[in-house]
Amino acid sequence: MKNFNVLSRRSFLDRSTKAGLAAALATLTDIPFVMKRALAEGSIGLNGKKVLFIWLRFGNDGLNNIIPIQDPEYAAIRSTIEITKDALDYSVTGPADFPVSSAVGTDTNFATHWYNKGIRLGNGFAALHPALKFLAPVYNAGDLALIHRVAYPKQSRSHFDSQNYWENGNPNNNLSKDGIFYRTIIESGLANTAPLTGISIQSALPLILRGSAAAMTNLTSPTRYDLLGVPTPANDTKAFNAMAAGNYYPFAAKRNRDLLELQYQNMSNTLRIFGGIDFSEAGNIFRDTANTDGDTAPYYLFPTTNAKNGGYAFHSNNAAKYVVPTGQYNFFGNLKAAAMILNKTDAIIAGTELSGFDTHQTQGGATGGHASLLQTVGWAMYAVQKYFTQYAEKVGWNDVVVVTLSEFGRTSVENSNSGTDHAEAGVMYCAGGAIKGFGQGNPSGVFGCSPTEFTSGDARNWVTGTRTGLLSTCNTMYAAGVPFSGNALPVAAGYLRRSNDYRSILGEIIRKHLGSTQNQLNKIIPGYATAGEHLLDGGTSSVDGVPIRGELGIL
């Protein structure tokens, strides 16, 4: 195999003016700075499977996403932001309820009559926040896993440290500067040949796709994607021809001619790929298949304007018919772009982010700031299911997994400002046609929020012995180490303890769905190589002594 000199980014720029443009655009094109031989093992990028990630930044309050509504202590610890029961039997098992607007109010006053009670999930214990109602049809199709009490050992309460650990796959290690999905792409062996492999649509490239050996793609806005900076097709052609001609310049071997040729080729290919995708508002034509929520016509899947937001336009511009908050149009534009890129290109992993989950005050209950964010999440998951089902091109719903991430959950007990503070375990949502959710081989699609999920006395169980309780000692870490005693709520009570490790969930997706080998996964997520972490098989963590379940069997 030919040996190449490895140059630093700075010296690379200094020694080649032709490479300067390519290197400056490294965050927008998959241009590896270190050539790697394609790996023989695994099938990442070759089996047609893809991942769409959605980062829920700044700590989503999992306890008001998937609600232990049958726990008698839930109401006691959340008197202001509690999601209350309806006049229903929540011990009934079966599919989740899907409240339709016409059943609880009038079509002309939709927002006022949003269902405002906990939505029965049908596992006899848990409920969904009412703003997440559009998760119900995805759940009932067996395409959604609702995973509660997700964290990692020795959880950090810092937003930025914890985000780093979720993204680099190395809890409590700030020296690791490359991400889980970046390492996944490197293990695929495609980073040095494919113009698009991993891509994010957000303000900056997230750590989860960042690394030193290959540059993934980040777009702040796909509608402004113009690397060449020239406005006309004629000038585009001239620029493409100039790049092609540059490949014939006789670089000496020590100047890494093959590397430079690959840079020009990847830039050219990336430009042509995005030039063939209509990211404009006129191209946002994707709609539901049925009259959504019992309304008079199907809704647009990606609401990016008032006219495309729910039933607003065909109800005489009635703002009560919006299906998502009007402040989330940029998010849905980014989500649409990420979905289209997976669907229309060979990219393997794409994603975006939704911020605003740092709800220290006036969090709200069935309505309010947190509810608006959850309304966005619920519709987003429903929209991507519909999009990849009815608009499939290069990939369909059965070959996509959608996963949400958030750096930690929030305190069990609400604070004096009617909000919640930084804590430990939260929730993850995993959706896709191949997910084994409700009715697909699992007792239900809910994990980590059931009184019968584990054996009696197991520390991972929500119920211990004869006493049911969110705040029982086996379920809660206390802010000041205060033990539970009797029925009184300790002043410092608050940290919902994990029963699932986020690395086990991502690991199962990377191996079973994307197609890595176990050997590759051990490098992608180093904890898998440590037997005492029990990320694969479950057991008591050697790091902090907390029992975890391991992989859940969702694929």
Q: Averaged over 533-548, what is the pLDDT?
A: 92
Q: Looking at 85-89, 211-215, 332-336, which range is the least confident one?
A: 211-215
| Predicted local distance difference test score (pLDDT) of residue 443 | 72
The pLDDT of residue 237:
66
In this prediction, residue 137 carries a pLDDT of 97
Q: With a cut of 60, say whether residue 263 has pLDDT above it.
A: no
Structure confidence at residue 230 as a pLDDT band (50, 70, 90)? very low
| Confidence grade of residue 487 (pLDDT, cut at 50, 70, 90) | very low
Q: What is the pLDDT of residue 233?
A: 52
Distance of CA 107 to the CA centre of its chain: 32
Q: How confident is the model at residue 234 (pLDDT cuts 50, 70, 90)?
A: low
Q: Which residues contact 253 (CB under 8 A, 6 or more apart)?
A: none
Q: What digits encode the pLDDT tens for the residues 88-112?
A: 999 999 999 999 875 333 444 444 4
pLDDT of residue 545: 85
pLDDT given for residue 276 in this prediction = 80
Q: What is the pLDDT of residue 478?
A: 31
Answer whether residue 462 shows pLDDT above 50: no
Which phi-psi region, left, alpha or beta, contains residue 298 (left: φ > 0; alpha: ψ -120 to 50)? beta
Answer yes or no: is pLDDT of 244 > 80: no
pLDDT attached to residue 43: 95
pLDDT at 37: 37
pLDDT band at 250 (very low <50, low <70, confident <90, very high): low
Tokens of 478: 């206390």
Q: CB–CB of 319/111 below 8 Å?
A: yes
Q: What are phi and psi of 331, to 5 degrees?
A: -60, -45
C-alpha 143/C-alpha 467 separation (Å) is: 33
Percent of the chain residues topping a pLDDT of 70: 74
pLDDT tops 90 at residue 480 = no
Pairing of strands 127-128, 119-120: antiparallel
Residue 432 scores a pLDDT above 60: yes
- Return the minimum-mean-pLDDT range out of 67-71, 95-99, 287-291, 432-436: 67-71
Strand blocks (E) in 333-383: 349-354
**What is the spatial distance between Cα 374 and Cα 134, in angstroms, rounded to a whole number?**
10
Is 486 a residue whose pLDDT tops 70? Answer: no
Report in angstroms the alpha-carbon separations of 181 from 26, 35, 167, 170: 17, 19, 8, 13
Q: Provide mean pLDDT across the span 384-409.
A: 98
Amino acid at 346: D
Does the pLDDT of residue 196 top 70, yes or no? yes
Q: What is the mean pLDDT of residues 441-459?
A: 68
The answer to whether 417 touches 94, Cβ cutoff 8 Å, is no
**Dihedral angle, C-alpha 185, 187, 188, 191, nearest 10 °:** 50
Q: What's the pLDDT band for 254 if we cut at 50, 70, 90?
A: low
Query: Residue 48 pLDDT more than 90?
Result: yes
The reported pLDDT for the residue numbered 429 is: 98
Q: Which of the residue ranges 47-56, 288-297, 477-486 has the most confident prediction, judged by mean pLDDT?
A: 47-56
Instruction: Band the pLDDT of 24: cuts 50, 70, 90.
Output: very low
Q: Quick check: 489 pLDDT over 60?
A: no
Cα 31 to Cα 14, 45, 62, 338, distances in angstroms: 17, 17, 38, 20
Q: What is the pLDDT of residue 467?
A: 36
Q: Sketch the domain layout of the chain as residue ranges.
A: 57-171+282-343+356-437+502-519
- The Cα 340–Cα 327 span in angstroms is 22
98's tokens = 């899907």
Separation CA 317–CA 306 (nearest Å): 8
Beta bridge partners of 150: 426, 500
Amino acid at 522: N
Q: Which helix (H) or strand (E) holds 271?
A: helix 257-275
pLDDT grade, residue 34 (50/70/90)?
very low
- Mean pLDDT over the full length of the chain: 81
Amino acid, single-letter form, for residue 122: G
Q: Which residue has the higher pLDDT, 283 or 225?
A: 283
| Dihedral sign, Cα of residue 205, residue 404, residue 347, residue 259 | positive
pLDDT tens digit sequence for 334-374: 999 999 999 999 999 999 999 999 999 999 999 999 999 99
Average pLDDT of the residues in 441-463: 64
3-state DSSP of 30-61: CCCCCCCCCCCCCCCCCCCCEEEEEEECCCCC
Interval 144-162 mean pLDDT: 94
Q: Is 541 helix (H, G, I), strand (E, B) or coil?
A: coil
* % pLDDT > 90, the chain: 57
The pLDDT of residue 207: 96
**pLDDT reported for residue 344:** 95
Q: With 80 as the cut, is the pLDDT of residue 17 above it? A: no
Mean pLDDT along residues 99-126: 69
- Residues near 434 by beta carbon (within 8 Å), at least 6 away in sequence: 398, 399, 401, 513, 555
Question: pLDDT-based confidence at 301, cuts 50/70/90?
Answer: very high
